[in-house]
Amino acid sequence: MLRRSTVLWLVAALAAAVAAVLPAAHAQAPAARSFDVLQLNLCNSGDEACFSAGKAVDAAIQAIHQRRPDVVTLNEVCASDITRMTAETGYRWEFTPVGDAGTGDPARCRDGRGDFGVAILAHPDVGAPGKPVEQQFAAQDTSGVQRVLLCVPYSQVSACTAHLSETDGQVAADQCHELAGVATALGAQAVLGGDLSLVAGGAPDVQTCVPEGWYRKDDGSVQHVFAMDTFHFERAETLPIEGTDHPGLLVQTTR
């Protein structure tokens, strides 16, 4: 028969062994990390009624400072806006102008503010960017604007954006499918955000261009964020952005 002292020693030794193993097991599973995407349409070309002479850029910079998203997808911005935003936030940038169908040149913002287009800003923690994918959509409407997509493969994730046709719903749907296809080809860690000019439950329905293995969140209207399901959805929020007729759409995830 074992003495009581021997039993107590064996129990203590077993407990110590279990305690030593459990932390090691937990250490093998990395903690989930937050990953947030902010979609913005700044309406800053100078050609639309919603133009506010740069107030939307001020509000966007403030939102980035306050919320520190990992990726910001931007539509209806000028090259000079991006220069300022990156200087004041420290984010990396990629910018692609939309085309002028009449001239074949990049569309321009008013008052000498540079090319007009779409952009992606990325927090430095997202990693170094690879070669961006920049292309005009195969489907185009007759508005005179040649819509484009922009995707950037960073070392940790890939991000895409576009502003789709505002005048032809079927063209917007075709562009949405092309955008989703390019984003999917970038790999298992990809997100996209944009003013897709389509709504859930509409005709065409934006949900029809969400690829298998992805999910979609929106601002209740035409702005959407798509994410591969490796990004676990936490919550979505709209942010007031002064100077534009679109709110900011912030989608918070973990991965």
Least confident residue range of 5-9, 108-112, 163-167, 173-177: 5-9
Q: Same domain, yes or no, for 22 and 126?
A: no
Q: CA 26, CA 2: separation in Å to the nearest integer?
A: 35
Q: What mean pLDDT, rounded, does the chain reach?
A: 90
Q: Same domain, yes or no, for 24 and 40?
A: no
Q: Same domain, yes or no, for 67 and 82?
A: yes
- Is pLDDT above 80 for 48? no
Report the DSSP beta bridge partners of residue 150: 134, 161
Per-residue pLDDT band at 27 (split at 50, 70, 90): low
Q: For residue 15, what are the domain limits?
A: 1-30
The DSSP secondary-structure symbol of 207 reads G
- For residue 106, give the CATH number of its domain: 3.60.10.10
- Is pLDDT above 90 for 22? no
Q: Same domain, yes or no, for 37 and 26?
A: no
Q: Same domain, yes or no, for 11 and 45?
A: no
Q: Same domain, yes or no, for 224 and 169?
A: yes
- Is pLDDT above 80 for 157? yes
Q: Same domain, yes or no, for 25 and 131?
A: no
The pLDDT assigned to 132 comes to 98
Residue percentage of the chain with pLDDT more than 90: 82
Q: Same domain, yes or no, for 44 and 16?
A: no
The pLDDT assigned to 228 comes to 98
Tally of domains within the chain:
2
* Pure H helices in 129-199: 169-185
- Is pLDDT above 50 for 81? yes
Q: Same domain, yes or no, for 43 and 13?
A: no
Angle between helices 79-89 and 55-67 (to 10 degrees): 30
Q: Same domain, yes or no, for 11 and 64?
A: no
Q: Same domain, yes or no, for 126 and 219?
A: yes
Per-residue pLDDT band at 50 (split at 50, 70, 90): confident
The pLDDT assigned to 51 comes to 80
Per-residue pLDDT band at 25 (split at 50, 70, 90): very low
Q: What is the pLDDT of residues 105-146, one digit of tens each?
A: 999 998 898 999 999 999 999 999 999 999 999 999 999 999
Q: Which pairs with CB-CB distance under 8 Å and at least 24 residues apart come from 165-169?
A: 165/139, 165/140, 165/141, 165/197, 166/197, 167/141, 167/142, 167/143, 168/141, 168/142, 169/197, 169/198, 169/202, 169/203, 169/204
Q: Same domain, yes or no, for 25 and 132?
A: no
Quick one: tokens of 138?
């195969």
